[in-house]
Amino acid sequence: NHTKASGDNIETEFQKYLAAFSKSYKTVEEYKQRLENFRQSRIESAKLNSMNSRAVFGVTKFSDWTVEEFNSMMGAFPEHAE
């Protein structure tokens, strides 16, 4: 199942993602963090797909970004604790 976001499958899917979007990282630490971001993104996509039959959520060039990075790019302001 290509929407599965667990096990050995996720790293294989991540490697395909890296090739498809010509991505690479400078350190092993960044690779590991981006892999985790990607895993979380796939989990969220699967959840959204199960809730909405008229839309399809999946992998984009932003799938290895954190929520904060994506919101910053979209012009959203970070949440601040008062």
Decide: 37 and 63 in contact? Cβ < 8 Å: yes
Q: How much of the chain exceeds pLDDT 90, in percent?
A: 65
Decide: 34 and 25 in contact? Cβ < 8 Å: yes
pLDDT at 78: 58
C-alpha–C-alpha distance, residues 45 and 10, integer Å:
13
Concatenated DSSP letters of 36-63: HHHHHHHHHHHHHHHH-TT------TTT
Please write the tens of the pLDDT for every residue from 39-60.
999 999 999 999 988 888 999 9
